Amino acid sequence: MTVIAFQGEHGAFSEQASHQQFGAGAKTVSCKTFEELFSSLDDDRAALGVVPVENSAAGSINKASDLLLNHDLRIQGEILLRVQLNLLTVPGNGGKIKQVRSHPQALSQCEGFLNRNCLEAVPWYNTAGSAKDLAACPEPNVGVIASYLAAEIYGLEIVQRNIEDMSYNYTRFVVIGKGETGQTQNAKTSIVFATPHNPDGLSTCIREFADRKIKLLRLVSRPRRDYPWQYVFYMDVEGHWREPDCGAAILGLVNHAAFVKMLGSYPAAVQPIEDRYAQKVMLQD
């Protein structure tokens, strides 16, 4: 059975994303850090990894981006997980909660709910970790914010579901491994590159894709480690590198850029129809 590595405790949203992509019966292994996850793929302790790279509310997850640059792994797939945050506690304690623990980002995404209910927010190292620790050492008047999967794993009661302030809050995950995927329809290609130090360096690189009508989906800059004041760009575009136009654009990028690394071409995740409709209505309002 394929072993899939994720960062965090069991019940983390990364594990939930793994189940969404590979089924609830998938064999998952937890890693304490992103570095441990990538190392588990390097030495074949796991065949695939599921890594968060971007959140629709909080933006890019920089640590994951840095590791993608520095390891010889490829993106093989993409997962869009709707992040649904739930208030959990030990069974029978639902009406007595005064303090709520979770990862700082989860707490910030539920700030409205916490303020309306006069609940004290206490930062914890991990969403699933807060659930695991409460189940191991039950405390009166304490709740946690975590996934429904964490509630199932640790035997906690779901007091209230979907307490996040943003109804359509997504985290984008990528599936990484040593191999590459074959050419598919609805593909996406991820690339990291650096530009030469001239005034039109970035625009010249991007023009290779614009001239071929290839849609730019994401462009994010990051400091280049060990090169002070130099930056790399993480770019996602529509298409597969084996497609003629996309392949030609990448070749043009190689000719103009200071360096280029292909992170992979892979099937793009599809957002559920009901969520696309809801977001369209929100934008119109």
Q: Is 200 helix (H, G, I), strand (E, B) or coil?
A: coil
User: Taken in order 168, 81, 236, 183, is the CA torsion positive or negative?
Assistant: negative
In CATH, the number for domain 3-82+170-177 is 3.40.190.10
Residue 276's pLDDT is: 53
Q: What dotted CATH number matches 86-160?
A: 3.40.190.10
- Catalytically annotated residue among 28, 127, 171, 189: 171
173 is catalytic: yes
Active-site residue (options: 113, 173, 193, 209): 173
pLDDT per residue over 66-116, tens digit each?
999 999 999 999 999 999 999 999 998 877 899 999 999 999 999 999 999
- Which of 13-22, 174-183, 273-282 shows the lowest per-residue confidence on average (mean pLDDT)? 273-282
Under the banding of pLDDT at 50, 70 and 90, the label for residue 278 is very low
Residue with tokens 């394929």: 2
Which pLDDT score is estimated for 225? Answer: 78
The model's pTM is 0.90
Residue-wise pLDDT for 159-190, tens only, equals 999 999 988 889 999 999 998 888 888 999 99
Residue 233 designated active-site: no
Residue 272 CA to its chain's centroid (Å): 17
Query: Cα–Cα distance between 21 and 1 in angstroms, integer?
Result: 15
- pLDDT 10s digits, 41-51: 999 999 999 99
- Closest residue by Cα to residue 93 from 125, 146, 153, 134: 134
Residue (of 126, 110, 119) closest to 32 by Cα position = 126
Contacting residues for 99 by C-beta, under 8 A, at least 6 apart: 119, 120, 122, 141, 142, 143
Let me know if the fold of 86-160 is the same as that of 187-267: no
The pLDDT, as a whole number, for residue 281 is: 43
Average pLDDT estimate for 237-265: 97
* Domain parsing of the chain, residue ranges: 3-82+170-177, 86-160, 187-267
What top-level class would CATH report for the domain 187-267?
A: alpha beta
